[in-house]
Amino acid sequence: MRVVIAPDKFKDSLSAADVAAALASGITTAMPSSQVTCVPMADGGEGTVDAALAAGFVSVRARACGPLGAVVEAEFALRDDEAVIEMAAASGLALVPAAERDALAATSRGTGDLIRAALDAGARHITLAVGGSACTDGGAGMLAALGARLTETGGADLPDGGGHLGALARVDLSGLDPRLHETDLVLATDVDHPLLGAEGAAAVFGPQKGASTEDVGTLEAGLRRFAELVGPELAEAPGAGAAGGVGFGAMAGLGAHREPGIDVVMELVGLETALTGADLVITGEGSLDHQSLGGKTPVGVAGLTARVGAGAACVVVCGRTTLRESEWRAAGFIACRAVADLAPDTESSLRYAATYLERIGQGIAAHYGNPDMRP
């Protein structure tokens, strides 16, 4: 039997590669004759670079501005003239200790630094995976790092951070790195929020980054001013509000085109080719819930399996699930296996996830390895 294992990470527990390895170990233990292919996945946010590296890209490290100005060393993936960048590597909320979070001062400048480093490395096809950002600056810092000039009344450079955008008087994009004109930039995100309003970047995501109610108002006003000067017609575009408005900055300032994150990753890792001839496909993520149904990795893999898998069955594995059986079956899965059903408590399910996943892999192989038990 040919098995393809294509999971996302189990957040706070295992990387996608580790999840796949644990399941593969269980399957080959129970069914030594099986042919197992592991394709670690992501949905276009954190983990996308790891997925690209597992698919044959090489790691490149670069120094970049962190969310609050300190220099960080960040990684991106490169293969020939194609680069994959995670915004979170330079501008991520995880880079800022909880006690130091400053929603008004945080900047996306480091993301621009990484794009410039990718250009320096020869990339002319860049995938920007957004998510997990610390900033709500509309991508202003990113544009500044790439040569744009943002000034206050009087001509002084505007300080970094979404909290200063309300004082913005002029945006000059003429100094943007000319290599961007010959570069295909893909914005990978499953977020479809607009830049402004009740469903926008500041209102929805600002509080997660430490913004108070007053801060949200300040950020909203700043983003509105920024949009007026850069591209008001794109402020309502789906995805403009992604990553604190970096989606807007990438589309309006850099000409990026948005694609669903899971679709981007499936193409990057060559999942369609890997599925050819598969009898069984196993996917998964840490928490399988209603958010998963909106375009996360498992549903994306199930959809591609249905389209190109020539009858392959698709099983979803997770840390826990809040979905009813009717819901996960409607999403395209013939079975759902959760670590929480084996572990005595949450701490054990996180700490010993690999052991439980190996057991789950053995159970899947024992059940679906029997031709009489296959759908």
Mean predicted confidence (pLDDT) in 144-158: 97
The predicted model gives 179-196 an average pLDDT of 95
- For residue 153, the model assigns a pLDDT of 94
pLDDT at 70 exceeding the cut of 90: yes
The number of angstroms, rounded, from the C-alpha of 77 to the middle of its chain's C-alpha atoms is 14
pLDDT surpasses 80 at 370: no
pLDDT digits over 211-246, tens only? 999 999 999 999 999 999 999 999 999 999 999 999
pLDDT band at 359 (very low <50, low <70, confident <90, very high): very high
Using CB atoms within 10 Å of the CB of residue 373, give its burial: 0 to 12 exposed, 13 to 18 middle, 19+ buried: exposed
pTM metric for this prediction: 0.92
Mean pLDDT of 290-300: 91
Name the least confident of 291-300, 335-344, 365-374.
Answer: 365-374
pLDDT band per the 50, 70, 90 thresholds, residue 365:
very high
Using 50, 70 and 90 to split pLDDT, how confident is the model at 371?
low
The answer on pLDDT for 375 being more than 50 is no
Q: Indicate the average pLDDT of the chain.
A: 95
Question: Mean pLDDT, to the nearest integer, of 305-324?
Answer: 92
Cβ 189 vs Cβ 249: under 8 Å:
no
Does pLDDT of 373 surpass 70? no
Answer yes or no: is pLDDT of 309 > 90. no
pLDDT > 90 fraction of the chain, expressed in percent and rounded: 93
